[in-house]
Amino acid sequence: MNIEGNSGGRLDLAGKHIVLGLTGGVACFKAAELARSLIKAGATVQVVMTQAAEQFITAVTMQALSSRNVYTSQWDARESNNMAHINLTRDADAVLVAPASADFMAKLVHGRADDLLSLLCLARPVASCALLLAPAMNREMWAHPATQRNVAQLRADGAVLLGPASGDQACGEVGDGRMLEAQELLDELIAFFQPKALLGKRVLLTAGPTFEAIDPVRGMTNLSSGKMGFAIARAAAEAGAQVTLVAGPVHLDTPRGVRRIDVMSAQQMFDAVLPLAPASHVFVATAAVADWRVAKAAAHKIKKKAGAAVPALELEENPDILAAVARLKPPPYCVGFAAESENLVQHAREKLQRKNLPLIVANIGPATFGSDLNSLTLIDTNGTRELARADKLTLARELVREIAARTAHVST
């Protein structure tokens, strides 16, 4: 089900209650945007701050953004039983500490609990309330052996670390230790709660158009934006798969956790896909691959000359990537895409049979190229099933669930 808010965006965290913990660090300024983002995604947010965090951002700010009282002290008497460290996590789905300082992570490793945030992390019901940490510190602090030992122990104890990233730091240095941005943390949290239906599976995808050169400055391409393929790559990664995305020329950010290979032409896409396909469990061919290319691209720009005949372009057929992967012995589970302009089901079914595929996904190309919305028709030998019009990530998640159900028997 696609639950939408007033802005039309997905409420991916609807029904989730998040305790957002802040420890001391300049990255506290990102927590303000993070709180807003979590709430816009449908979550309720309870902010808990350490004394050090209050040196960087005020409780007043976080209360205004979360619409809830902010807790800063283990001695807070507003709780009827004076046990905020117990009460605050009993209805929570996760504690997200962002930023998580080196000192706070060291405290968690040793089970120290001398403030409210460390207390509630220790006292949370582990089976129902996850602990996620977004480290934020100087690059030397992050690289220090003591910090790395603590990171390893925290992971062994069940904590999930989100980041850190590499980049400019408040101290003027550059390197690992920078806290992820609010949108990145939101995406990570959303992914954390997605069912891991493809855990252990290797998924290979193609996405976007291809570009076939005519000369050094011109070429043949199509209107595919790559958005559907990138959404499927994200959804597969959220579902626990190891994802490789072979992308034609598009201007899209790589989904977190996805390995990306950029190509231009159909031949380059073929050359990138074929060596990877035998080790993949699933191959999803969303790319709008050009059927033909210019047989002999000009070495220099073809100049227009007055009175001269229009140059003739001799075309030759490109390799069929999907058919080649489907012919492997054994093949991965192959999902084709058919972007048609008419007779959608008929043309898609012909493609399904011609390439001997278990599943093909069809849509009207001109109605979806470049759009954030889509509607899909799933076609196999047993019939058709419509996926109602929705945003592409919602459809991608539904398609991934379908693929997971169909490949559940495939050994990892």
pLDDT tens, 288-307?
999 999 998 888 888 888 88
What the block records as the tokens of 191 is 């992914």
Q: So what's the pLDDT on residue 88? A: 93
Give the C-alpha separation, 28 to 49, whole Å.
10
* Least confident range of 270-284, 338-352, 394-408: 338-352
Q: So what's the pLDDT on residue 254? A: 95
Q: So what's the pLDDT on residue 2? A: 41
Question: Where do the CATH 3.40.50.1950 domains begin and end in the chain?
Answer: 17-193
Q: So what's the pLDDT on residue 4? A: 42
Residue 367 has pLDDT above 70, yes or no: no
Share of the chain above pLDDT 90, in %: 73
- String of DSSP letters for 225-247: -SHHHHHHHHHHHHTT-EEEEEE
Q: So what's the pLDDT on residue 412? A: 59
Look up the pTM and report it: 0.89
Q: What are the beta bridge partners of residue 215? A: 218
Query: Which of 224, 237, 304 shows the shortest CA–CA distance to 269?
Result: 224
Give the C-alpha separation, 119 to 290, whole Å.
59
Residue 78 has pLDDT above 90, yes or no: no
What the block records as the tokens of 170 is 């408040």
pLDDT tens, 114-157?
999 999 999 999 999 999 999 999 999 999 999 999 999 999 99
Residue 1 has pLDDT above 50, yes or no: no
Question: Where do the CATH 3.40.50.10300 domains begin and end in the chain?
Answer: 202-294+315-406
Q: So what's the pLDDT on residue 366? A: 63
pLDDT tens, 28-49?
999 999 999 999 999 999 999 9
Superfamily of domain 17-193, CATH level 4: Flavin prenyltransferase-like (3.40.50.1950)
**What is the average pLDDT across 221-240?**
94
Q: So what's the pLDDT on residue 9? A: 64
Mean pLDDT of the chain: 91
Fold of 202-294+315-406: Rossmann fold (3.40.50)
* Catalytic, out of 28, 129, 171, 334: 171
Of residues 135 and 389, more confidence is placed in: 135
Q: So what's the pLDDT on residue 372? A: 82
Tokens 């209650």 correspond to: 17
What the block records as the tokens of 350 is 């012909």
Task: Please indicate whether residue 171 is annotated as part of the active site.
Answer: yes
What the block records as the tokens of 94 is 């996760």
Element (H, E) at 103: helix 102-109
Q: So what's the pLDDT on residue 388? A: 86
Residue 7 confidence class, pLDDT cut points 50, 70, 90: very low
Give the C-alpha separation, 334 to 262, whole Å.
21
